[in-house]
């Protein structure tokens, strides 16, 4: 009989599981009913491997939610008052899985959604000085703005100014803000070259229709003298120039280039939020300036002002943020516990030791070794969230924790 043909097999692709997902953002916010906070979690996906997407499981402090495969965002109700660790586990139709690194959401503090209106906060002092064209007899008031707080929103507040503290709450002159909650305007005619002081306050309207005045703040500046060519000097205006800042923990270096084609007679440099303590005046041009005494994890604005020999002015501002050292994040052992995989773990509390010095709205993000086996997890600290409790660690004694390099790095966002 004729020999039979040999059977041939179709090559099969090697089985491959899904790529590890990455949580890109996770935050929790208070809900109106006040019973629980609402966490919003978003993650990114790679490949599903050699099969289509299967179910995705989102875990928050051990509480899970199943979502459709291929989904990249979801919401979950979460408790108040505890730090939340989030994991996302994806799968494919073959049953292969991959789990993201942990992502920590700081504890949400339950607050009264409608705080009582007490005394309005004092407004931030605006900047006073000559207008950009040094107009004769004019004083420019820059960045006059409302300051929300103590139960008041911008809609409840009015800003006033006067040439005396008592006059401000008389009331003085109301400020017509040209950008919602802030404005820039000129005052005059005044004595050219004179230094003027004005006082600023805000009036808040309570729910019963009555009004309450804030404390008063003052600001001083020099009136424009109209000088443009200095009696025969160069009348060329100063071009806009770039300012860069290299920031550190408690200091910064400000650098810039002097524009070509003009002769700089004076250079003034300062930190806008600390003008009285930091402003320095230099004869002629300079190209860098160092400042110290800054607070960690704060946003500042460096101001560089050039004045030409013809009397032209040019001011450029550059915003920057200071950071914090990893060694200023303290890890405190709080006891033994069990990790989610059943292994023995320790529990610790992380505390930013200088959080009281952090600026409002500025967050410090630190990369920390957590869990067993240890993996990098990001934690966010702020003035309102100085400590995060209940964090898992491989260390099972205080001595072991103190011997470990737990906090790897920190940066501001």
**Runs of H (alpha helix) within 81-143:** none
Q: How many helices (H) and strands (E) in the chain?
A: 3, 29
Point out the least confidently predicted range of 37-41, 134-138, 146-150, 220-224. 134-138
Q: Is the CB of residue 117 less than 8 Å from the CB of residue 204?
A: yes
Is the pLDDT at 322 greater than 80, yes or no?
yes
For the chain, the farthest-separated pair of C-alpha atoms sits apart, in whole angstroms, at 122
Is the pLDDT at 3 greater than 60, yes or no?
no
* The two domains 127-222 and 243-321 share their CATH topology (first three levels equal): yes
Q: What is the rounded CA–CA span in Å between residue 404 and residue 387?
A: 19
For the beta carbon of residue 272, count every other beta carbon within 10 angstroms: 16
- CATH: 2.60.40, 1.10.150, 2.60.120, 1.10.10. Which one for 127-222? 2.60.40
Q: What is the pLDDT of residues 219-233, one digit of tens each?
A: 999 898 776 543 333
* Residues in CB range of 354: below 8 A, 6 or more apart: 296, 297, 324, 328
Is the pLDDT at 375 greater than 90, yes or no?
no
pTM of the model: 0.48
Q: What is the rounded CA–CA span in Å between residue 328 and residue 344?
A: 28
- CATH: 3.10.180.10, 2.60.40.10, 2.40.50.100, 2.40.70.10. Which one for 22-105? 2.60.40.10
In the chain, domain spans: 22-105, 127-222, 243-321, 326-412
Q: What is the pLDDT of residues 153-188, one digit of tens each?
A: 888 999 999 999 988 987 667 877 755 667 778 888
Confidence band of 382 (pLDDT split at 50, 70, 90): very high
Confidence band of 310 (pLDDT split at 50, 70, 90): confident
Cα-Cα end-to-end distance for the chain: 81
* Residues in CB range of 47: below 8 A, 6 or more apart: 16, 18, 19
Say how many residues make up the chain: 413
Is domain 243-321 in CATH 1.20.810.10, yes or no?
no
Q: Which of 409, 358, 344, 345 is nearest to 387 (CA)?
A: 358
Is the pLDDT at 234 greater than 50, yes or no?
no
Is the pLDDT at 381 greater than 90, yes or no?
yes
How large is the average pLDDT for residues 282-290? 92
């Amino acid at each position: 009989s004729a020999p039979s043909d040999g059977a041939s097999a179709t090559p099969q692709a090697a089985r491959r599981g899904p790529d590890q997902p990455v949580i890109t953002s996770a935050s929790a916010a208070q809900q109106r009913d006040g019973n629980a906070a609402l966490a919003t979690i978003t993650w990114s996906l790679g490949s599903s491997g050699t099969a289509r997407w299967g179910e995705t499981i989102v875990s928050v402090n051990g509480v899970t939610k199943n979502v459709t495969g291929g989904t990249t965002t979801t919401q979950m109700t979460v408790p108040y008052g505890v730090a939340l660790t989030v994991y996302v586990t994806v799968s494919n139709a073959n049953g292969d899985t991959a789990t993201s690194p942990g992502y920590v959401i700081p504890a949400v503090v339950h607050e009264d959604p409608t705080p009582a209106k007490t005394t309005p906060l004092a407004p931030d002092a605006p900047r006073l000085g000559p207008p950009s064209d040094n107009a004769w007899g004019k004083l420019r008031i820059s960045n006059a703005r409302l300051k929300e707080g103590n139960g008041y929103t911008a809609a409840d507040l009015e800003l006033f100014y006067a040439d005396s503290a008592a006059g401000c709450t008389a009331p003085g002159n109301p400020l017509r803000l040209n950008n919602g909650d802030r404005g820039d305007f000129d005052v005059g005619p005044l004595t050219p070259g004179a230094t003027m002081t004005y006082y600023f306050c805000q009036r808040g309207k309570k729910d019963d229709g009555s009004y309450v005045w804030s404390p008063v703040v003052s600001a001083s500046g020099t009136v424009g003298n109209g000088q443009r060519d200095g009696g025969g000097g160069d009348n060329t205006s100063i071009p806009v120039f770039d300012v860069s800042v290299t920031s550190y923990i408690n200091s910064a270096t400000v650098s810039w280039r002097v524009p070509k084609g003009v002769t700089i007679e004076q250079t003034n440099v300062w930190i806008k939020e600390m003008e009285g303590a930091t402003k320095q005046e230099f004869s002629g041009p300079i190209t860098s300036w160092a400042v110290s005494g800054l607070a960690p994890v704060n946003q500042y604005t460096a101001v560089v002002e050039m004045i030409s020999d013809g009397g032209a002015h040019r001011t450029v501002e550059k915003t920057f943020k200071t950071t914090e050292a990893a060694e200023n994040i303290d890890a405190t052992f709080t006891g033994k516990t069990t990790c989610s995989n059943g292994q023995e773990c320790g529990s610790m509390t992380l505390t930013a030791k200088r959080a009281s010095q952090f600026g409002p709205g500025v967050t410090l993000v630190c990369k920390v070794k957590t869990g067993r086996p240890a993996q990098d997890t990001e934690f966010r600290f702020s003035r309102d969230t100085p400590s995060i409790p209940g964090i898992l660690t491989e260390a099972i004694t205080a001595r072991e924790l103190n011997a470990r390099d737990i906090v790897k790095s920190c940066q501001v966002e």
